[in-house]
Structure 1
Amino acid sequence: MPRSSSANEEMRTQARQKILAAALQVFAEKGYHGATITEITQRAGVSRGLASYYFPNKHLLVEELLDAYLDGVAAIIDVPGGPDERLGGIIDGVLGGMMSNLPVQGVILSLVVQPSTHPIFAEVEARKDERLSLLEDSLRELFEQRGAEDPAVEEIMLRSVLEGVIYKAVVYGPQYPVEQVRRRLYRMYELAEPKTTLSGAEPGLAGRLRATDRGF
């Protein structure tokens, strides 16, 4: 019996997700230039022809990964509550997402900053301009409601701080004191102390950060 159109669509979606997940793994291990479509398809467990049908080259794979990343960034505006509750929810959402998938964050960061892939990021960002502008305007409105003198600068600072936290956590992994930094961010923005932790472990004193060769 032939498959229904919905079953076929689900299979196509699953195949694309397998390829994208495999691309993240191979990019993490070998970098953009060292990765090959052949290795990605082998890791995904799909045929080269199927992978080439969806993603004829690595450029399109990177484009899709960065597209999903920017969708995730834009989604942080979907936090309910008043200004303080929303700000706390945004901080927790970013840090919680970071902790749950640090290797992916590392790959995305490398794709964003590498000279060979940064232009792709710029293209994707330009396509997402409307949604990213909504994110920026929402954050600026939040800071305006909190009485900020320059809401635009506050929006830029918040994103810069959180992106810096992600970068450091990617570099130092489990050493990075996420809970302590989270509480410091709450105090910096004069939010009520969080009653729970993101990791389930109570924060202690932060130690020194030193890189290791652990990889991802």
Structure 2
Amino acid sequence: MRHRSQERIIGAALEVFAAHGYEGATISQITDRAAVSRGLISYYFASKRDLLEAVLGRWLDAMLGMLDDQGPEVPADQLLATVIDRALFGARGNLETQRLMLCLMLQPGTREVFARVERSREATVRAFEDRVRAIFVARGAVDPAVEEVLLRSLLEGVVYKLAVYEDIYPLTEVRNRLYVVYQLGEPGPLPLPPDTFHDTERLRAPV
């Protein structure tokens, strides 16, 4: 029951932060969204910043755990495709959360909180990085560490553009291009809505 209560509060905080921004969100809004008493929130989380740490931690754990269900026998190419697909599909399905996390990682008032949460999971972060680097070792990369950084930079860049240009970003075509770049063969189907981007268009933020 304790775990369920905490998860309910964290989920409500995530929704409120996404709707109003961290600075604009209030404990009262989170209380209403979670349908719990203010005293219960205060019992588990001493401040809004503590709630922010919990939200960031849950999101980071999900990102770092995207390969946890993939055993050691899974081929490197399949693992790489899994990283690409789960990063892109996860972003597409949770764009409000992605926008929030981008803001929290970059804003001066919350960046140090993200850095602290990331440091608190140092062993898990390193294990995920090593897992991705091992993929590139198996693929014969000259510098697996650089390949790991490059892959994450590419995916994070795609997520950023998707968050800004949601309605017209050509996610399927970008995914197909990543498969070509990494020589992963023909990509399988993903439950993504059809792209509305055309060759004659340019990415512009909606008004």
Q: TM-score normalised to the size of structure 1?
A: 0.87
- Quick one: structure 1 residues 27 and 82, their matched pair in 2 at CA, closer, same or farther if it must change by over 3 Å? same
Matched with 1:41 is 31
CA distance in 2 between counterparts of 1:28 and 1:130 reads 28
CA distance in 1 between counterparts of 2:167 and 2:4 reads 31
Secondary structure at the aligned position of 2:147 is classed as: helix
Secondary structure at the aligned position of 2:108 is classed as: coil
User: Residue 121 of structure 1 is aligned with which of 108, 111, 114?
Assistant: 114
Shift in Å, 1:168: 1.0
User: Is 1:103 aligned to 2:93, yes or no?
Assistant: no
User: Is 1:29 aligned to 2:19, yes or no?
Assistant: yes
Question: What pairs with 1:113-192 in structure 2 (closer than 5 Å)?
Answer: 113-192=106-185
Provide the aligned C-alpha RMSD in A. 1.8
Shift in Å, 1:45: 1.3
CA contact (8 A) 2:168 2:195 kept: no
User: Residue 58 of structure 1 is aligned with which of 48, 70, 77?
Assistant: 48
Identity of aligned residues (%): 45
CA distance in 2 between counterparts of 1:175 and 1:23 reads 29
- Quick one: structure 1 residues 200 and 31, their matched pair in 2 at CA, closer, same or farther if it must change by over 3 Å? closer
Shift in Å, 1:99: 1.4
Gaps of 5+ in 2: none
User: Is 1:211 aligned to 2:205, yes or no?
Assistant: yes
CA distance in 2 between counterparts of 1:96 and 1:111 reads 21
CA contact (8 A) 1:62 1:111 kept: no
Secondary structure at the aligned position of 1:175 is classed as: coil
CA distance in 2 between counterparts of 1:136 and 1:49 reads 40
CA distance in 2 between counterparts of 1:86 and 1:104 reads 25
User: Residue 64 of structure 2 is aligned with which of 64, 74, 79?
Assistant: 74
CA distance in 1 between counterparts of 2:185 and 2:197 reads 19
Shift in Å, 1:152: 0.4
Structure 1 runs (4+) greater than 6 angstroms displaced: none
CA distance in 1 between counterparts of 2:195 and 2:97 reads 25
Q: TM-score normalised to the size of structure 2?
A: 0.91
- Quick one: structure 1 residues 193 and 204, their matched pair in 2 at CA, closer, same or farther if it must change by over 3 Å? farther
Gaps of 5+ in 1: 1-8
Secondary structure at the aligned position of 1:192 is classed as: coil
Matched with 1:3 is none
Shift in Å, 1:88: 0.6
- Quick one: structure 1 residues 204 and 107, their matched pair in 2 at CA, closer, same or farther if it must change by over 3 Å? closer
CA distance in 1 between counterparts of 2:193 and 2:32 reads 37
CA contact (8 A) 1:77 1:139 kept: no
CA contact (8 A) 2:176 2:187 kept: yes
Tell me the alpha carbon deviations over residues 81-137 of structure 1, each in whole angstroms, 9 at most, x when there is no partner: 211111011111111111111111111111111111111111111110001101111
